[in-house]
Amino acid sequence: MAELLQLVITGLAVGTVYALIALGFVVVWKSSSVANLALGQLVLFSSWFTYGMLVQAKFPLWLAFPVVILFALALGWLIERLALRPLIAQPILSLITVTLGVAYFIEGVVTFIWPWSVAALPRLFPIEPLHIGTAVVSQAYIWVAGICLIVFGLLTLFFRYHKMGIAMRATADDQMAVQACGIPVTRIFSCSWMFACIVAAIGGVLISSIGGITHGLVETGLKAFSVVILGGLNSFVGAVVAGPIIGLAENLGGGYLTPFIWAGVKDIIPFIIIIIVMLIKPYGLFGEVRIERI
Amino acid sequence: MAILRTKTHWALFIIFLALLFAAPLYLGNYWLGVANLIGITLIAATGLNILIGYCGQLSIGHAGFIAVGAYTSAVLTNRLELPFLVGLICAGFTAGLIGLIFGIPSVRVKGFYLAITTIAAQFIIIWVINHWSAVTGGFVGIKVPYASIGGFVFRSEASQFYLIISIAVLATFLAKNLARTRVGRAFIAIRDNDLAAEVMGINLFYYKLLAFFIGCFLAGIAGSHSPTGLAL
């Protein structure tokens, strides 16, 4: 029983981080119909950059985090400007392939600048374990989940009240109407990419504070895909709901199925969920069904 | 419409083939190695071209199918001591079957969703390969003996070059020919507008799965030429 509770809590916590990263994907998809396949590598790059700031350049915490946010903004702007702006009206396959190319490019750059395969961030959260009921949970998980929920709240406020947030929602709804209103759509694309990079950065820092910086961060980005697929590509609510579900499934599956199948089942569960979702309900829980007109 | 129509086509083609097959005479060992890699990639890419280019099924997980071919061939030639050609054909069929299984979602989803499904398929395949240590040697891999046909062992880069290039030329010819047949035209119809194709009477289920099978069959053949069990 204790084990179940522990798995549930850690699963939900990690799941909220997946949901955060998935939000970045959904924003880019909704506003410009571009599938950001570079998500995992963005998470990786931001985490390594945080490591560089905190450990190599020895910035204090209060200085490092704004720098990381600025870095994520710059990265998002660069990617959108250099890789995606020239391809605005091209078929969707070209755009997906370009993000794939950007992904591998970033991976190469990361290996070039930081040639180590693992690294640890300095301790960001207190480590005494909490006792919730009968479960013993490291405090880091609770902090991570809490920070994610705060970020969700901030994002909701941003999208509801801030001018740029409203503009992004409008572009996601109907690009042509937005252009008719005089809002430069290319600026909205830039903003959505910058936003995706920021949430990837925050998500990356949170995950690496739990598990260290390894190449597994790329897989975390891919698990964000499964969150997006489960929740529906078009839906913010879907991403937020599906994230904890995937985190839960991953942890429970890993905890209970490992004796039966080979170890490491945990890694593969999100992908199996993708295939199952594709076969049963391709548009996900909350996605809007694409009605194909001839 | 024949592939080679005019006399100029034929002449250029024969000259090209002659230059290609005479390559070991003027290329050094290193470049032959590069040419071998090019040949292997060419076979796999031809398969992918049939899948994405002709049939329009976005599949980005091809590396997984190449790995299936490589490991099938490795297991058959190493563990079971079967001849290389048997390993080659079986690698093709195994990869084709696995492609068939992972191609089933293509009947329900299209475009980007199918691409994500194939990415998931690639990760599942590679995970299974890495963890099924009993058969595939897990993360360590399998040592693959040199290819040999009827007693002749392909040990040098030049001999491997001939083997790979012949298969590559054959695969390209097969793919080009496929486009002219009924099957190829069905693929192109599906790519252009699959609802219209279905209305015309093309069985989408059959042809989409066939495209996956052929594409992954070629990927398996390409994979069986890859060297010792690497994690792709």
CA distances from A21 to A105, A130, A272, B206 (A): 20, 26, 20, 38
Please choose, from the candidates B143, B26, B189, B120, the residue with its C-alpha nearest in 3D space to the C-alpha of residue A267.
B120
More confident residue, A261 or B160: B160
Query: In this complex, do A226 and B120 lie within 8 Å of one another by their Cβ atoms?
Result: yes
Share of chain A above pLDDT 90, in %: 2
Looking at chain B, which residue has its C-alpha nearest residue A292? B195
pLDDT digits (tens, 9 = 90+) for B130-147: 777 677 666 666 667 676
Please choose, from the candidates B184, B180, B196, the residue with its C-alpha nearest in 3D space to the C-alpha of residue B53.
B184
Per-residue confidence (pLDDT) for residue B137, from 0 to 100? 66
Looking at chain B, which residue has its C-alpha nearest residue A294? B195
DSSP reduced 3-state for B216: helix
In a domain, A111, yes or no: yes
Least confidently predicted of A234-248, A267-281, B17-31, B151-165: B151-165
Query: Alpha helices, DSSP H only, in A90-184?
Result: 92-113, 139-161, 163-173, 175-180
Residue environment code for A27-60, b if the CB has 16+ CB neighbours within 10 A, otherwise e = bbbbbbebbbbbbbbbbbbbbbbbbbbbeeeebe
In a domain, A286, yes or no: no
Question: d(Cα B223, Cα B69) in Å, to the nearest integer?
Answer: 5
Q: Give me the residues of A, 270-289, that contact B with CB < 8 A.
A: 271-272, 274-275, 278-279, 282
Contact A207, A217 (CB under 8 A): yes
pLDDT digits (tens, 9 = 90+) for A173-183: 777 888 888 88
pLDDT at residue B228 is higher than 50: no
In a domain, A68, yes or no: yes
In a domain, A81, yes or no: yes
Residue A53, domain CATH: 1.10.3470
Query: In this complex, do A279 and B108 lie within 8 Å of one another by their Cβ atoms?
Result: yes
- Structural domain including A42 reads 2-280
In a domain, A34, yes or no: yes
Per-residue confidence (pLDDT) for residue B93, from 0 to 100? 92
Please choose, from the candidates A117, A121, A119, A143, the residue with its C-alpha nearest in 3D space to the C-alpha of residue A130.
A143
Mean pLDDT value of segment B57-64: 86
pLDDT digits (tens, 9 = 90+) for A239-271: 888 889 998 888 888 877 766 666 677 778 888
CA distances from A255 to A10, A29, A148 (A): 11, 33, 24
More confident residue, B14 or A265: B14
In a domain, A289, yes or no: no
Question: What mean pLDDT is reported for chain A?
Answer: 83
What is the ipTM metric for this complex? 0.77
In a domain, A294, yes or no: no
Contacts of residue A177, defined as CB under 8 A and 6 or more positions apart, other chains included, come to: A170
pLDDT at residue A191 is higher than 50: yes
pLDDT at residue B51 is higher than 80: yes
Minimal CA separation from B199 to chain A, in Å: 11
Contacts of residue A181, defined as CB under 8 A and 6 or more positions apart, other chains included, come to: A170
Contact B156, B141 (CB under 8 A): no
pLDDT at residue B159 is higher than 80: no
Beta bridge partners of A130: A137
More confident residue, B137 or B90: B90
Say whether pTM exceeds 0.90.
no
Instruction: Find which of B49, B60, B98, B116 to mutate to test the A interface (most A CBs within 10 Å of its CB).
Output: B116
Sign of the alpha-carbon dihedral angle for B101, B106, B111, B114: negative
Question: d(Cα A107, Cα A44) in Å, to the nearest integer?
Answer: 8
Two structure tokens written together for B59: 């599949």
In a domain, A173, yes or no: yes
Domain tally, chain A: 1
Residue environment code for B83-117, b if the CB has 16+ CB neighbours within 10 A, otherwise e = ebeebbbbbbbbbbbbbeebbbbbeebbebbbbbb
Looking at chain B, which residue has its C-alpha nearest residue A100? B60
Question: What mean pLDDT is reported for chain B?
Answer: 83
With bands split at pLDDT 50, 70 and 90, how would you rate the model's confidence at B229?
Answer: very low
pLDDT at residue B231 is higher than 70: no
Question: d(Cα B134, Cα B138) in Å, to the nearest integer?
Answer: 7
Q: Give me the residues of A, 224-253, that contact B with CB < 8 A.
A: 225-226, 229, 233
Minimal CA separation from B70 to chain A, in Å: 22
Per-residue confidence (pLDDT) for residue B96, from 0 to 100? 92
